[in-house]
């Protein structure tokens, strides 16, 4: 229980419950550290971390970079838009070139599902998946579950509905794995055209009606419509989507209870979430961002402990 | 064969803690500008006893104190088989311009105390830092660190271990030296 069962964080699928508990326990301490007057600890001062972002990211990249710097690691950043990848270099060549500079941990975001698994089999460094296509985004799921634990004291027995584009969402898949491993009940809600084919295999059922879903849940994790990943039209218009699946004050006021609203960001205000809900006391969106740094510090710290001199 | 020798019993520990408190009072008076910080996990058992005794001797309930977790400041993260799992940090205070008394049960190599001093500095710039330990294993230091207040000094060789047991965890207070060959 005092060590992770895995050598890389490739996805929540590969973790066992005690791994998640250990990450949460470690993150509790890092959350205190990042609220101290001096927010930096020297734990990873002899570790070099490469952040390889083959796909755009703002908050995940900032959050990882801040977590790395708070742990005193040396950090190098790479963004594919400004690199030799555009000149035709393969992923393995790019990464091997970076590793030749003696990098211990690679944090990678890549548009292809399974890219981080591929990397972990071919190179000698610890890999942290920061999102691989429509597959997994494990640190996001960990920080989401951690935020639920912080709000309610525990995750077990809680009812969570994930609303929106489940088909294209790595956040949804990682959240389903993570919350189920922690004993929560997870359902999804959104237009049928944005639901993956094999939902049953994940043990998840689907609500078509938003109000029904919100009546059922304790927490609603609302996702963004990923227009950049949609190759065809899955619904008539954003306006219609917002009318049917947009979470707004009116819908929440109509419920017989209070629920917690989460969003992994970036929010499309007025589409999946209205401004008054996003800024209300029911939303824990900014807590999620703060917890993201603590969770990423915990993951990097625990993986670095496995690198022997 | 494992051979255990008792260094201090319950009564000895009680007398020693009382003496250490008197020495602290000699230097810190009413403790108005002093903070007592126990090093997690084992130093806090001792610091709690000392705080309890000081409150009794000074007839006050107003003593500033904290528990310091040093996990993230250690220098052996990558030298262990298991990662260092952090303890609870309870430091809801500022050490700016304060006199700090750092408390741990056994002073051995000095590496924990080096980490603790590092960790302390995250809470402000103290005026001074002193070290109190129940047991000082002299001759086994890796770093130039010496305590200001010592319960008992002992000479122990590398294969010997000092075990401090507290009533709260082990049912009774005692300190043993264990030798295995």
CB contact under 8 A, B72 and A29: yes
| Span A295-304, average pLDDT | 96
Q: What is the fold of A138-288? A: Rossmann fold (3.40.50)
| Span A252-281, average pLDDT | 93
Contacts of A301 in chain B (CB under 8 A): 72, 77, 83
Does the pLDDT at position A212 exceed 70? yes
Element (H, E) at A251: helix A249-253
Residue reference for tokens 């990097």:
A300
- Contact predicate A189/A255, CB 8 Å: no
User: Which candidate in A305, A306, A308, A309 is best for mutational testing of the B interface (most B CBs within 10 A)?
Assistant: A305
pLDDT bin (cut points 50, 70, 90) of residue A84 is low
CA distance B73 to chain A (A): 6
Closest to A142 measured CA to CA, from A157, A125, A129, A158: A129
Our measurement of the distance from residue B112's CA atom to the centroid of its chain's CA atoms, rounded to an integer in Å, reads: 10
- Contact predicate A293/A34, CB 8 Å: yes
The C-alpha R_g of chain A, in whole angstroms, comes to 19
**Does the domain at residues A12-136+289-304 carry the CATH identifier 3.40.50.1370?**
yes
| Span A25-30, average pLDDT | 94
CA–CA distance, A145 with B23 (Å, rounded to integer): 50
User: Which candidate in B72, B84, B87 is best for mutational testing of the A interface (most A CBs within 10 A)?
Assistant: B72
Determine the residue of chain A that is closest to B90 in CA distance. Answer: A32
CB contact under 8 A, B123 and A3: no
Contacts of A309 in chain B (CB under 8 A): 78-79
Output the pLDDT for position B85.
79
> Which of A57-71, B106-120, B152-166 shows the lowest mean pLDDT across its residues?
B152-166
CA–CA distance, A259 with A189 (Å, rounded to integer): 15
What confidence tens digit (pLDDT) does each residue in A181-203 have?
999 999 999 999 999 988 889 99
CB contact under 8 A, B72 and A307: no
Q: Where are the domains of chain A?
A: 12-136+289-304, 138-288
Contacts of A73 in chain B (CB under 8 A): none
Contacts of B121 in chain A (CB under 8 A): 38
A29 → closest Cβ in B69, B74, B78 = B69
Residue reference for tokens 């009318």:
A243
Task: Tally C-beta pairs within 8 A across A and B.
Answer: 67
**What is Dmax (Cα atoms) for chain B?**
51
Output the pLDDT for position A82.
61
CB contact under 8 A, B83 and A42: no
Closest to A167 measured CA to CA, from A236, A245, A247, A227: A227
Helix (H, G, I), strand (E, B) or coil at B99: strand
| Span A26-53, average pLDDT | 92
CA distance B88 to chain A (A): 7
Q: What is the fold of B10-72+88-160? A: Rossmann fold (3.40.50)
pLDDT bin (cut points 50, 70, 90) of residue A90 is confident
A305 → closest Cβ in B77, B123, B124 = B77
| Span A278-288, average pLDDT | 94
Beta strand segments in chain B, E: 2-8, 34-39, 64-68, 99-107, 128-138, 149-155, 160-165, 174-180
What confidence tens digit (pLDDT) does each residue in B47-68 have?
999 999 999 999 998 899 999 9
Contacts of B84 in chain A (CB under 8 A): 305
Output the pLDDT for position A101.
84
Record the tokens describing residue B141, joined without a space.
């230091």
Contacts of A4 in chain B (CB under 8 A): 83
- Contact predicate B30/B58, CB 8 Å: yes
pLDDT bin (cut points 50, 70, 90) of residue B133 is very high
> Which of A160-164, B117-121, B177-181 shows the lowest mean pLDDT across its residues?
B177-181
Our measurement of the distance from residue A190's CA atom to the centroid of its chain's CA atoms, rounded to an integer in Å, reads: 19
| Span A107-123, average pLDDT | 92
| Sign for the pseudo-dihedral over CA of A136, A287, A206, A190 | negative
CA distance A302 to chain B (A): 7
The C-alpha R_g of chain B, in whole angstroms, comes to 16
User: Which candidate in A1, A29, A303 is best for mutational testing of the B interface (most B CBs within 10 A)?
Assistant: A29
CA–CA distance, B83 with B165 (Å, rounded to integer): 24
- Contact predicate B40/B70, CB 8 Å: yes
CA–CA distance, B23 with B3 (Å, rounded to integer): 34
Q: Are strands A185-189 and A205-207 parallel, antiparallel or unpaired?
A: parallel
Exposed / middle / buried, residue A82 (Cβ in 10 Å: 0-12, 13-18, 19+): exposed
CA distance A219 to chain B (A): 29
Sequence length of chain A is 309
CA–CA distance, A306 with B78 (Å, rounded to integer): 7
CA–CA distance, B83 with A150 (Å, rounded to integer): 24
Helix (H, G, I), strand (E, B) or coil at B81: coil
pLDDT bin (cut points 50, 70, 90) of residue B158 is confident
Output the pLDDT for position A232.
67
| Span A198-213, average pLDDT | 93
Q: Does B93 touch chain A (CB under 8 A)?
A: no
Record the tokens describing residue B97, joined without a space.
């311009």
Above pLDDT 90, what percent of chain A?
A: 73
Determine the residue of chain B that is closest to A297 in CA distance. Answer: B72
Determine the residue of chain A that is closest to B75 in CA distance. Answer: A43
- Four-point Cα dihedral A280, A284, A287, A289, nearest 10: -100
Residue reference for tokens 């794995």:
A177
What are the residues whose beta carbons fall under 8 Å from the beta carbon of B177, sequence distance 6 or more?
B4, B5, B6, B7, B154, B156, B160, B161, B162, B163
Output the pLDDT for position B99.
97
| Span A104-122, average pLDDT | 93
pLDDT bin (cut points 50, 70, 90) of residue A233 is confident
User: Which candidate in A28, A37, A309 is best for mutational testing of the B interface (most B CBs within 10 A)?
Assistant: A37
B124 → closest Cβ in A37, A71, A304 = A37
> Which of A210-219, A294-303, B134-143 shows the lowest mean pLDDT across its residues?
B134-143
CB contact under 8 A, B73 and A42: yes
Average pLDDT over chain A, rounded to an integer? 91
Output the pLDDT for position A206.
94
Does the pLDDT at position A1 exceed 60? no
| Span A250-262, average pLDDT | 93
| Span B33-45, average pLDDT | 94
What confidence tens digit (pLDDT) does each residue in B77-96 have?
877 777 777 888 888 889 99
Q: Does B41 touch chain A (CB under 8 A)?
A: no
pLDDT bin (cut points 50, 70, 90) of residue B1 is low
């Amino acid at each position: 229980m005092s060590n992770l069962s895995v050598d890389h964080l490739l996805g929540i699928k590969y973790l066992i419950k005690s791994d998640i508990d250990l990450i949460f326990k470690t993150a509790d301490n890092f959350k205190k550290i990042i609220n101290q007057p001096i927010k930096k600890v020297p734990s990873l001062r002899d570790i070099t971390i490469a952040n390889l972002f083959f796909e755009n990211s703002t908050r995940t990249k900032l959050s990882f970079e801040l977590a790395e710097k708070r742990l005193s690691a040396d950090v190098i950043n790479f963004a594919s838009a400004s690199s030799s990848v555009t000149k035709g270099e393969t992923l393995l060549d790019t990464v091997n070139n970076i590793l030749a500079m003696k990098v211990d941990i690679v944090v990678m975001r890549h548009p292809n599902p399974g890219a981080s698994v591929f990397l972990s089999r071919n190179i000698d460094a610890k890999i942290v998946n920061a999102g691989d296509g429509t597959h997994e985004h494990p640190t996001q799921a960990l920080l989401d579950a951690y935020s639920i634990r912080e709000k309610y004291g525990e995750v077990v027995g809680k009812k969570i509905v994930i609303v929106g584009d489940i088909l294209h969402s790595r956040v949804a898949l990682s959240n389903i794995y993570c919350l189920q491993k922690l004993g929560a009940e997870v359902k999804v809600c959104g237009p049928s055209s944005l639901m993956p084919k094999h939902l049953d295999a994940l043990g998840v059922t689907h609500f078509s009606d938003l109000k029904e879903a919100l009546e059922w849940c304790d927490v609603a994790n609302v996702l963004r419509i990923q227009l950049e990943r949609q190759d065809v039209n899955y619904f008539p218009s954003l306006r219609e989507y917002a009318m049917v699946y947009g979470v707004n004050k009116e819908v929440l006021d109509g419920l017989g209870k209070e629920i917690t609203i989460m969003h992994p960001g970036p929010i499309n205000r007025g589409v999946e979430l209205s401004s008054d809900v996003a800024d209300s006391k029911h939303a824990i969106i900014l807590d999620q961002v703060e917890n993201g740094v603590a969770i990423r510090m915990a993951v990097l710290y625990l993986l670095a402990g496995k690198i022997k001199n | 064969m494992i051979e255990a020798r008792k260094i201090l019993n319950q009564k000895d520990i009680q007398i020693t803690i009382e003496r250490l408190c008197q020495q602290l009072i000699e230097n810190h008076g009413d403790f108005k500008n002093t903070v007592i910080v126990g090093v997690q996990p084992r130093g806090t058992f001792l610091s709690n006893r000392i705080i309890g005794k000081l409150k009794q001797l000074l007839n006050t309930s107003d003593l500033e104190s904290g528990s310091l977790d040093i996990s993230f400041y250690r220098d052996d993260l990558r030298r262990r088989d298991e990662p260092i799992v952090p303890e609870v940090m309870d430091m809801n205070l500022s050490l700016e311009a304060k006199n700090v008394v750092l408390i741990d049960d056994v002073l051995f190599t000095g590496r924990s105390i080096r980490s603790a001093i590092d960790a302390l500095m995250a809470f402000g710039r103290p005026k001074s830092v002193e070290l109190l330990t129940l047991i000082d294993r002299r001759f086994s230091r890796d770093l130039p660190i010496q305590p200001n207040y010592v319960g008992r000094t002992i000479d122990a060789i590398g294969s010997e271990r000092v075990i401090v047991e507290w009533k709260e965890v082990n049912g009774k207070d005692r300190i043993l030296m264990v030798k295995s060959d």
